[in-house]
Each structure stands twice: as structure tokens, then as C-alpha cells.
A = this chain, B = another copy of it.
């Protein structure tokens, strides 16, 4: 990294003028750093450079580019060159590339790939079958497998043969029966420490933790984190090994899912690319949609306030307390929803826990509401022009609003998940709008009970 930032501008010049040198540089510089440099070039320049490189040197650079950069480069590169690079890419990165391309472009390249490397084309079709965020889509079909009758020496030879063709890491050797069913695995350490003539099945771990291809990537991430695994085998319902998921992809998944969750909580449609890479127009779209929906929802506060006009007319200054009161509901609601949404995301909270959560949040809302209510009561009394009954109205309203905020904030994500929606989607601001309207109703209803005399003298009942 230090090397790349040092050489930056010069290296870029070299890359442009003499792309053959990149091959030598690959030994010296991490492909990630070369990808950073290639990513800084225009799509035309980058495409020309990559096309002129031998495919096995271009692939490790290309697969490390952003999705957006990959898309732009593929657009201007001949399908033939793309197919050659694709044939050298890791199977999972290759499948990702095809799933991001427009269908017409992807089909043309897949046709070329069929000629260059029929096996790779078949792989793409296999992995594309699975939904985008599933284990099947995330897995790679590159792994080292031997028969259970093999010796440790045969396993070493298999690792050697694999390493000549692939630049991916190897962690384990898998033992498969004739039907491709996973019997067990041996780590490289197990193999290193065994005698070469030993049969592999003597050192196999047979109690293997695995996932099915339809499992969600977040669930895979949770299991790998729990069991400290570096590779997770993916097997079908017959026990046949379909592929493996490596930890580096899981780290990317975790970061990406977290970014999406945070953006959804902040009422932004998830962005696919970093802040500065996102175009102005995309931002307007991704933010505007939610801003309009929430604005529309918030209009009901105005409707409610107008509806209760006689009450606010009768209690001088009461309307000025509305923003204060309803924000207490919004804040307690966003606390609860944040806790529940995150708890569900990391698997600590299940939908079936709803009644325990309801009980807790009711209790918590009551304690926090009484605390805030007492504070509000005292604060209102400090104004000379406010009466005790209005202070009491504010205090009791706060209890009601905070309880409502906690309960709605905690239950809505569970309801959303129950009906198949993503609980993170804009829950926090949506809950705030909902609780705002409920807060106004609570305020008026409390006032009607506590300040019945004042209201009656203004003809409000």
C-alpha cells in the first residue's frame, strides 16, 4: 500500500504506456493496489489496458474493481476480451459480474465464454440460479476435493494442481464420495502434519458445519462468526458439496449489509456505491422518495391539530408544546425500534419473542415516561402564567406518549418482518410520524379530562 501511494502517478503512466510491465508488478504490488490505480483511469483507458494484459494477470485486478467500474469497463471492452478475463476470475466474482450486467450484454459475453471456457460458463449459470443474497450466490465452485481412499500425498498433489490454476486461497481439502457427497474435510495444517502415505480418511473431520444454498448470506455470516470458520461448505439436501463460501466474502457482506441497514434507518434507500461516487441525481431519487413519503405522513399532524382547533383555542399556548411533546414520543420510539431492529439483524431477537418485548417496553415506557413527565410538570410550573392543571396535562401526556413511543417503536419492526417487509426500512422516521399523530391525540384527550373546567368555559366538551 505504501508502495502504491508512493509510485501512484508514475505507475499510472507506466500502466498506460507499457501494460506488459503490469505482470511483473503483480509480484511486487498487491492486486488490490493495482485495482485502485486502474479504478482511477477512465473506463476507455482501463479497458484498453486490461484487454492488452494476459487474462490471468488482468483477472485479479478486474475482480477487485467496484461493481460500477466493472460495468463501465465491460461496456467499452470487446466481448471476447471480457470473456477471456472472466474465464480467469474466481467463480463467485465471475457470477457477480454477470448478475450486474444488463441481460443483453451478459448473454453476449456468456456466449463468448462458452467458446473460451465452457466449464466457466456452466458455473455462471449454476450460481445465477440462486437469489442474490443467498449462500448459493455467494459461494465459489473452486475448492480442492479428493476421494476418501486418497492418501495424504494425493491430497497434497491436488492442492498443488489447484494452486497452479487458481489464485484463491486454500484452507481445506474436502473428501467426496462417488456421488459428490461431502464426507469430511482436512485442513492444510492436518495435511501438513500427517505422514504423506497416511490415508486421508484417517485425518478427516466428519462433523462438518455446513449451510444449504438457499440460506441467507446474513445467516451464513452469523454461523461463520459463531464457529470461527474461515470457509463454509454449501451442500444440497442430498449432502452433495456445491461450493464453499470464504471468510473474505463474509467480511464484505457484513460491511455492505450494515451500510444498508444504517441507510435504511436514516430513511435513505440503500446506495450501492460510496458517497462521492453516487451521482447527484441518484441521491435525489434515493432520498427524495422517503422525504416525500414522510412529509405526506407528517401532514396528518396538521390535520389533527386543525381538527382539535377548539381545544387549542381554549388553552392559550398549548399548541406551542406540541413539538416538544411529540418529539419525546419520536425519540423513545426510535430508541426502541433501533434496539429491536439491530437485535433481529444479529439474531438475538426472534419474532416469537414479541410478548416478552411488549412487556419490557411497556415497563420501560412507563418508567421513562413518568421520569420525563415529572420533569415536564415541574418545568411548566416554573412559568408564572401556567396553571397546575396545564402542567399536569403536560406531565400525564408525556407518560402516555413515551409509553406509546416505546410500544409502537418496538412492535412495528416485528410486524413489518411478520408481513415479509424489511424491518429496517425507514422504520425510525416512519415510527416518528406515526407517534407524532398519536401524540397529538393523547395530548388533547388528557387535556379534556384534566382541564374539563377550562374547556367547558370555552364551550369544548
Contact = CB atoms under 8 A, between A and B. Distances in A.
Interface of A: 1, 3, 28-30, 32, 156, 159-160, 163, 169-170, 187-189, 191-193, 207, 209, 221, 223-228, 230, 247-248, 250-252, 254-255, 258-259, 261-263, 265-268, 271, 274-276, 280, 283-284, 287-288, 290-292, 294-295, 298-299, 301-302, 305-306, 309, 312, 317, 319-324, 326-328, 330-332, 334-335, 337-343, 346, 348-349, 353, 356-357, 360, 363-364, 367-368, 371-372, 375-376, 379, 402, 428-429, 432-433, 436, 440
Q: Do most interface residues of chain A lie in helix, strand or loop, or is the interface mixed?
A: helix
Pick the 4 closest A-B CB pairs, nearest first. Answer: A266-B338, A305-B320, A228-B248, A274-B348
A30 to B, nearest CB: 6
A339 B367 CA distance: 33
Contacts of A295: 324, 327-328, 331, 372, 375-376
Nearest to A323: B301
A20 to B, nearest CB: 21
Nearest to A326: B323
Nearest to A294: B331
Contact of A275 (B301, B302, B327, B348): B348
7 contacts: A169-B189, A188-B192, A262-B262, A266-B428, A275-B357, A280-B360, A302-B324
A227 B31 CA distance: 9
Given A169-B228, A254-B255, A276-B353, 5 more contacts: A267-B331, A291-B372, A295-B375, A302-B323, A322-B323
